[in-house]
Amino acid sequence: MKNTARKARNRAAFFSLLAVTTALAVTAVLASCKAKTQTQGAALRAAYLPTANYLTTLSKTQILQEELAKEKASAEFIGPSAPVDAIKIVTSGNADITTTGTGFFINMIGQGGGWVAFALEKYSGDSQGIVAAPGSGVETLADLYGKKVGIAQRGATADYILSAAFSHAGLDVSRVEKVELAQADFAAAFTSGRIDALASFDQNFANALAVPGAKKLIDGTEYGSLNWSLHIASRSFAEKHPDLLGAAYRALRREAARAQENPSFIMDTYRQFGASETQISLLKTFDVPQILPLDAQAVADMARQAAQYVEFGFISAAPQDFGSHVLDFSDED
């Protein structure tokens, strides 16, 4: 009870500070980054992922190119690359924007100021969760005590899924053995008995659900997931070409509107990445994401997730300057 009270006081203090600093920080970053810049002849290079988020699906259309043409600029798509590799492509200077999870973004900005988020891709959370492997004998989250659970990387989305689910259930996640896996190893590890369960999202979550004998233990709607996707840019590019990020935001909004009307192109993209029709039937049941601005509500949600990251031991202290790491393109809607 004392620990619970202390956590509550810490969170209250954090949000009190956030309320004071967010407006000032957002105003400062907008003032420094959103002034008109010279964009004629410029290019925006997008490192996209092997999943059907909207930056990836834009690589199949001319929508981004159309919006950039309004700024007399062009687009180049690089990929698909695994999320960690896409981040490296941007940090090496070979691309300007990519996609990551809100949780991983919290880790990134805690390590330095080199990143700016410009669009939120938000979904209900039903496309992420934990699945027990066939033959594991696991029927509930508590059954995972002493078992091996596959995740992609400590402190990233899958680790958050696992910790948030256990915290919500009042269980001790330290009693689970986390096994870090490369994305290419997920399927084999899940079906071979190397792991007893998998914590994952999007097509990897669907792939696990589609395995005969697999059992969904929980999804993000059940534990109130705050983990969504962010489209991000290097700070140097954001400061030099905010107008191009505004164009990218408009393109993402158009792509999201297109998906709300008819999401079939999302499934086509999954097929191109090798999803079977069984997996597609599961992916079709997932919530169709929205593209939203990084406004005060989005910043507050990131702060709430950062408090969870401290609670889960992923970071020692929550960043207190989220507003200086976002561009709010509400005025582009």
Separation CA 77–CA 96 (nearest Å): 10
Confidence of residue 333 (pLDDT cuts 50, 70, 90): confident
Rg (CA), the chain: 20
Residue 15 has pLDDT above 50, yes or no: no
- CA nearest 11: which of 225, 303, 323, 322? 303
User: For the domain 128-219, what is the CATH superfamily, name and number?
Assistant: Periplasmic binding protein-like II (3.40.190.10)
**Looking at this protein, which amino acid is placed at residue 196?**
D
Q: Please answer whether residues 156 and 167 qualify as being in contact, where contact means their C-beta atoms are separated by less than 8 angstroms.
A: no
- Please report, for residues 142, 159, 167, 252, the alpha-carbon distance to residue 174 in angstroms, rounded to integers and kept in the order given: 12, 12, 11, 39
**Strand residues in 158-304 grouped as ranges (E):** 177-180, 197-201, 215-219, 229-234, 290-292
State the average pLDDT over residues 264-274: 94
State the average pLDDT over residues 6-20: 38
State the average pLDDT over residues 173-179: 97
Separation CA 218–CA 155 (nearest Å): 19
Which backbone phi and psi does 132 adopt, to 5 degrees?
-80, 140
- Rounded mean pLDDT of the chain? 88
Q: What is the pLDDT, as a whole number, of residue 146? A: 97
Q: What is the pLDDT, as a whole number, of residue 184? A: 82
What's the CATH fold of domain 2-122+228-332?
A: D-Maltodextrin-Binding Protein; domain 2 (3.40.190)
Residue 170 has pLDDT above 80, yes or no: yes
Residue 66 has pLDDT above 60, yes or no: yes
State the average pLDDT over residues 182-207: 91
Task: Tell me the domain boundaries of the chain.
Answer: 2-122+228-332, 128-219
- Please report, for residues 133, 144, 146, 193, 328, the alpha-carbon distance to residue 136 in angstroms, rounded to integers and kept in the order given: 6, 9, 12, 7, 46
Predicted confidence (pLDDT) per residue in 84-121, tens digit:
899 999 999 999 999 999 988 998 888 887 999 999 99
Confidence of residue 218 (pLDDT cuts 50, 70, 90): very high
- Please report, for residues 208, 214, 294, the alpha-carbon distance to residue 196 in angstroms, rounded to integers and kept in the order given: 12, 10, 37
- Whether 128-219 and 2-122+228-332 are alike in CATH topology: the answer is yes
What is the layout of strands, in order, in the sheet containing 128-132? 177-180, 148-151, 197-201, 128-132, 215-219
Residue 57 has pLDDT above 60, yes or no: yes
Predicted confidence (pLDDT) per residue in 137-146, tens digit:
999 999 999 9
The pTM of this model reads 0.84
Q: What is the pLDDT, as a whole number, of residue 23? A: 39
Q: Please answer whether residues 116 and 325 qualify as being in contact, where contact means their C-beta atoms are separated by less than 8 angstroms.
A: yes
Predicted confidence (pLDDT) per residue in 23-48, tens digit:
344 434 444 455 555 666 799 999 99
